[in-house]
Structure 1
Amino acid sequence: MKNIGAMFKQRAVVSPELEAYVEPSSGVRVNYRQMNERINQCADVLRTLDVCKGDRVALLMPNSMEFCCLFYAAAKIGAIAVPLNTRLAAAELEFILSDSGSSVLFYGDVFAETVEAVKAGTSHPCTVREWVPATAGKTSLVARVKSADAAEPEVVCGGSDNVFIMYTSGTTGNPKGVVHTHDSVTTAASAWALTVDVRYEDRVLLPLPMFHVAALTTVIFCAMRGITLISMPQFDPMTVWSLIVDERVSIGGAVPAILNFMRQVPQFAELDAPNFRYFITGGAPMPEALIKIYAAKNMQVVQGYALTESCGGGTLLLNEDALRKVGSAGRACMFTDLAVRDAEGTISERGEGEVVLRSDFLLKEYWNRPDATRDAFENGWFRTGDIGEIDDEGYLYIKDRIKDMIISGGENIYPAEVESVIIGIPGIGEVAVIGLPDEKWGEIACAIVVADQTKVSAESIIDFCGEKLARYKLPKKVLFVEAIPRNPSGKILKRVLRDQYIKGA
C-alpha cells in the first residue's frame, strides 16, 4: 500500500546523505536523513495535538521546510493536509477552513494578522481548535519540535486514503475542495518522472508556491526520484540566475510570465549555467519568441497542461517539439488517456471538443460535493471544462473554457485566441475578452484592456486583430480600464467583468 510519507522514509534509507531541501535565502540545507527525522518530529507534534487518521490539518505557510515536513508528517499518520493559498483574504480562508473541517491550522508568522481576522469571522462555523504559529512563541511549531520524538511513526494508511485537499480558485463562486489520495499523487509524480528527462541527483529550482498543485507534486516528485529541491519562497528575477549557477540547478519550475521577467535582467546576457537543462512551465502557452530566446542560451522549455483535479498530470510538450508545435500543450504524458468530447457526448482521440482525461492520478472526489463529483465524470472520463483540439499527431491545443466561449452569429469565438493576439500589441498591459449581448449577432466579442492609450486606440487594436484573425472573431468593442479583476491565484474573474459590463450595456 503506497504512502507518500513512507516513500520519503525510503528515500532517506536509500540516499541518506543526498541533499533534500535547500533554501539559500534562509540558510536551510538538510539531507534526506535529517529531513526525515524532522518529518517524524512533526508527526509527533501532530499526535500531541490529538490529530488522528482522517483529521484535516491546514497549512497557511510560505514555501518552507516546515511546510514540506508537516505535509509528509500528516501523510505518515493518515491525516489530510489542506494547503491554503496565502494570498486569500480572511473571509475566503474562513470558508475553506470551515468547509474542510480543519481541526488544526499551522501558519507562518507573517500571516498572524490574517489569522486573527479569521478567528474573529462569523460567516462560517469554525472547526479549528489549535492555531499553531511557525516560530513565534512557546507553543510554536519550532518550540514543539525541539522536544518531539524523531522515531518513525506507525504507518497505517495509504493507497486510496485521502492525503490532501486543495481548493480550486473559485472563479464562479466558492472554491471546491479537490481530494487526492496517496495513489493519485504517486501516479502523478510517476507520470512526470517517466515522461520528461529527470535524473538521480538532479537539482530542481522551485519558485512557485506549494499551495498550487504543480509545485506540491514537484515536492513529492523530488523525493520519489532522489532529487534536491532548491526552494525560492520569494521569486526575485534579479537574483534567480546567480542562485541557478551557485546551486548547480539542472531543472527549473516556472510559468511563462516568470521566464519573461528572467530574460530581461542584466545577468541573462552573460549567463553561463553549465548544469542547467530545462524549465518546465504551465498555465499558458509559451510565445515563440520566448522559446527562441531561451533556446539561444541552450536552455530547453518543457510545457504542460494540467489541473488541480489531475494532480499536475496531463499533457507535456517536450522541447524538441516546442517550435514545431507552438501553442500546443503537448501530448498525453505517461499513464494518461486524452480525448475530446463533442456536444453529443461522443469521445474521440482526434478533433475538437471538451478535453477529457482518464488516469489514476485524477481526483477521488470534490470534498462535500457529491453533485459536483458526479457531474465531473462520465463513463470514467473527467470533463475538464476546457475546449481543445487534438491534431493528427495527438498534440493538444487548448482553445478556452466552455463557459467563456462566445457564440456570435452562430460562430464560436474563443476569447483566449483573441487575447493572445491583443497581448502582442505594444502598449497593451493586460487584456480580457468577454461576450456581450447583441441584438444582431446574439453576442459580440468585447476586449477589456489595460493599456498605454498614447500608443494604442480602440481602432488600432481592432485593425491589428484584423490582420491576424477571421472577421467574425474581431472584437466589436474595446474598453480601456485601470485594472482587470483577478482572484488570489491570478486568474481573471470574467464572471465579474460580465456582470459589470452586461448590466451596464
Structure 2
Amino acid sequence: MNTDQRPWLTHYPAGIPANVDVDAYPTLKDLLEATMKKFGKKPAFSSMGRDISYQELDELGTAFGAYLHYRGLQPGDKVAVMMPNLLQYPIALHGILKAGLIIVNTNPLYTPPEMKHQFVDSGAKAIVIAENFAANLEQIIKDTQINTVITTSIGELLGWVKGGLTNFVVRKVKKMVPSYNLPGAVTFQTALDEGKKHRLPTFTGQPDDTIALQYTGGTTGVSKGAMLTNANLVANALQMYAWLTQTLTEGGDGRMLCPLPLYHIFAFTVNAVAGFNIGMCNVLITNPRDLSTIVKAFKDNKIEAMTGVNTLFNALLNDKDFQKLDFRHLKLTGGGGMAVQRVVAERWHKLTGSPLTEGYGLTETSPVATMNPFNDKLRVGTIGVPLPNTSVRIWNDEAQRVATTEERGEIQVKGPQVMKGYYNRPEATAEVMVDGWLKTGDIGMMSEDGFFRIVDRKKDMILVSGFNVYPNEVEDVVAAHPKVLECAAVGIPHERSGEVVKLFVVKKDPSLTETELVTFCRESLTGYKIPKAVEFREELPKSNVGKILRRELREA
C-alpha cells in the first residue's frame, strides 16, 4: 500500500513504523517462549497476592501440555477453557499452545444450552473448567466429544493457607459451587503433577494454523467460531508492541491491571499476549464487579497500565475509595469492547492524569484494528488510526466505491490480524470477507487526516458492557414460550452498561406477564442477554415482505 493511501501515518507517535515485521515469529508459541526466556524470573502474572514468574509459567505450561498429550490429545484438537481470571488461565493457555492444540475460550456465565452449542460446534475434546460451573457441564457433557475434564478451584494455586481459606469462603460461606458429578475429572494441580512425569514432544506449527477458536455472535443469532491463526495473533501482538512501547518501558517494574476476563478477545490479546510480550506483569482481577479488589490492586502494585470498558471506568470514577488513590504511576489506560463516552474519558483524565485512549476492533481482527495515539495527538470521540500493516476504508455500498472524506459508509479492515474465517462456515465467511477486506457492519467516517469514528453500530447487534448480544438469539428463546405470538429484541441506552436488551412482545395468551417472560429467559440466556424491559404490543411494525422492523422499534 502506498503511503499516500494512509493519511493517518502522519499522526503516528515518533518511533512507530508504518509496517512491523509480522513474520518475525512463525508461531505464537515461538513468540511467547522467546518472551519467557527473555524475562526469566521477572513476575508474569499475579492473582490475589500470588505471583508467578515467566520461568515458572514456562515450566508449568510445559507440564500442563505434557498432561494433555499424555491423555491422548493430538495437535489440532480443541480444548475449551472456562474460568474467570485466575493464574490457572495463562498456564492452561501456554500448555495448550505447547501441545499444538487449539484453545476454545468459553464464557463461564454461559448456560448449559450455550455451552453445548459451543462445545459441539467446535468439537472440543477436553475442558479446563472452574468448579463453580461444573454442574452446568454435567448437564450437557454427554452430548459433546469431551472426554478429558480438568476442574479447578478459585484458591487452588494460592498456597495451602490462603488457597484453603479462599475455597472455604467460596464453597461453604458464599455457596458458589453447586454439587456436581463428573466421573474421571481431575483437579488442575493433579494434571500439573502428572504432567511433570511425562515428556512433551516438540510440536512445530505453521503460521496459518488455527490456534484459537474465539466465538462471536452473528446477525443470524448463531454463535460462530472465528479461526484465529498463529499469524493473526503474532501480528496483533507485534503491532501492539510497537504501539505500547512508546509509552511503557519493556521489562520495567510497572504492572498492567487486567480486570477484563481473559476469555474475551480484548484481554486475551492485549493483556495475556501483548502486555506479556513487553515484560509487564498482569495483575488479574477475578471479579471486576467487586471494585474493592481493583482498589486494592492499585494500592498493592505499581500499576502503569490498565484495560477496561466504559462501564467499568464509569463505575470506578463514582467509587469513593478509587477517587482517593495515588495514580502517579499510571501511564496508559486503554478502553475497548464498547464505545468510551466522552464525559467518562474527560473525567478519567482529570482524576488519574492518564488519558483514556479508545481503540477499535472485533473478534475477527484478533481484535485490535485501530488505536488512538497515547500522546497529545489523541482525539477523544474517535477510534483513532489504523495500526501498522493495517488498512481501513469506509465503503459506500450503494455506490460500490470507497467513500469520500467525512462520508458515511461501512468500516472495512484489511491486515495480517484479520481472521482466517469462521470455523466450518464457509458461507458465513464469504458474507464478511471480500478480496481480503473484512466487512465489519459498523458504520463510520474517516476525517481528512485519517482518524476514524463510528457513527452507528452494527444494524441489529446490541452491545451490553462490551459483550455482543444478537437479537435473533434472544428472540429464538422468547418465541419458544407458548404464550408468545411474536417478539423482537432491540438495544436501548443504559447509563451503566451502554445498552440493555428491550423486548417487544405480541401475546398469544393474555395472561402472559413480564415476570413470567423474564423468568423463562433466565433458563436459557446468560445474564447480560436477559431482557431488562418488556413492552407488550398489539402488533409489531413490518416491512412489505413481513420482516419485523427493529429500527422502528429502536427509534420509538
Which TM-score bucket, shorter chain as reference?
0.7 to 0.9
> Counterparts of 1:279-358 in structure 2 under 5 Å?
279-296=333-350, 297-320=352-375, 325-343=379-397, 344-348=399-403, 350=405, 351-358=407-414
Partner of 1:126: 144
Q: Are 2:176 and 1:147 aligned? A: no
Letter in 2 for 1:311: S
Partner of 1:45: 67
Within the candidate set 219, 230, 233, 1:182 is matched to 230
Q: How far off its partner does 1:238 sit?
A: 2.6
Query: In structure 1, what is the Cα distance between the partners aligned to 2:130 and 2:148?
Result: 14
Query: In structure 1, what is the Cα distance between the partners aligned to 2:126 and 2:82?
Result: 11
Partner of 1:115: 137
> Counterparts of 1:26-425 in structure 2 under 5 Å?
27-119=49-141, 125-134=143-152, 139-149=186-196, 153-170=201-218, 172-196=220-244, 197-200=247-250, 201=252, 202-217=254-269, 218-235=271-288, 236-296=290-350, 297-320=352-375, 325-343=379-397, 344-348=399-403, 350=405, 351-404=407-460
Give the secondary-structure state (helix, strand or coil) at the position aligned to 1:403.
coil
User: Any conservation in 2 of the 1:61–1:107 contact (CA below 8 Å)?
Assistant: yes
Give the secondary-structure state (helix, strand or coil) at the position aligned to 1:279.
strand
User: Any conservation in 1 of the 2:150–2:185 contact (CA below 8 Å)?
Assistant: no
Letter in 2 for 1:384: T
Q: How far off its partner does 1:360 sit?
A: 0.4
Q: How far off its partner does 1:501 sit?
A: 4.7
Quickly say closer, same or farther: Cα 1:221–1:320, change in 2 above 3 A.
Answer: closer
Query: In structure 1, what is the Cα distance between the partners aligned to 2:189 and 2:413?
Result: 42
Query: In structure 2, what is the Cα distance between the partners aligned to 1:498 and 1:277?
Result: 49
User: Any conservation in 2 of the 1:77–1:156 contact (CA below 8 Å)?
Assistant: no
CA deviations over 1:321-344 (Å, ceiling 9, x no partner) = 68x743211111222101011113
Letter in 2 for 1:66: Q
Query: In structure 2, what is the Cα distance between the partners aligned to 1:315 and 1:349?
Result: 19
Query: In structure 1, what is the Cα distance between the partners aligned to 2:394 and 2:412?
Result: 6
| More relative contact order, 1 or 2 (CA 8 Å, 6+ apart) | 2
Gaps of 5+ in 2: 1-24, 157-183, 465-470, 472-489, 496-513, 543-547
Letter in 1 for 2:39: S
Quickly say closer, same or farther: Cα 1:171–1:493, change in 2 above 3 A.
Answer: farther
Q: How far off its partner does 1:289 sit?
A: 2.4
Query: In structure 2, what is the Cα distance between the partners aligned to 1:448 and 1:286?
Result: 17
Quickly say closer, same or farther: Cα 1:449–1:376, change in 2 above 3 A.
Answer: closer
Q: How far off its partner does 1:4 sit?
A: 1.9
Give the secondary-structure state (helix, strand or coil) at the position aligned to 1:238.
helix
Quickly say closer, same or farther: Cα 1:501–1:242, change in 2 above 3 A.
Answer: farther
Gaps of 5+ in 1: 406-414, 420-431, 433-445, 452-480
Give the secondary-structure state (helix, strand or coil) at the position aligned to 1:397.
strand
Q: Are 2:46 and 1:22 aligned? A: yes
User: Any conservation in 1 of the 2:369–2:387 contact (CA below 8 Å)?
Assistant: yes
User: Any conservation in 1 of the 2:411–2:439 contact (CA below 8 Å)?
Assistant: yes
Query: In structure 2, what is the Cα distance between the partners aligned to 1:491 and 1:208?
Result: 18
Q: Which moved more, 1:354-363 or 1:213-222?
A: 213-222
Letter in 2 for 1:139: V
Quickly say closer, same or farther: Cα 1:138–1:85, change in 2 above 3 A.
Answer: closer
Q: How far off its partner does 1:191 sit?
A: 1.5
Letter in 1 for 2:147: R
Query: In structure 1, what is the Cα distance between the partners aligned to 2:186 and 2:294?
Result: 35
Quickly say closer, same or farther: Cα 1:131–1:391, change in 2 above 3 A.
Answer: same
When the two structures are aligned, how many residues end up with a matched partner?
432
Q: How far off its partner does 1:260 sit?
A: 0.6
Q: TM-score, normalised by structure 2?
A: 0.71
CA deviations over 1:66-85 (Å, ceiling 9, x no partner) = 22111121112211110101
Q: How far off its partner does 1:490 sit?
A: 4.1
CA deviations over 1:98-146 (Å, ceiling 9, x no partner) = 01011111111111111112226xxxx5221222212599722211211
Q: TM-score, normalised by structure 1?
A: 0.78
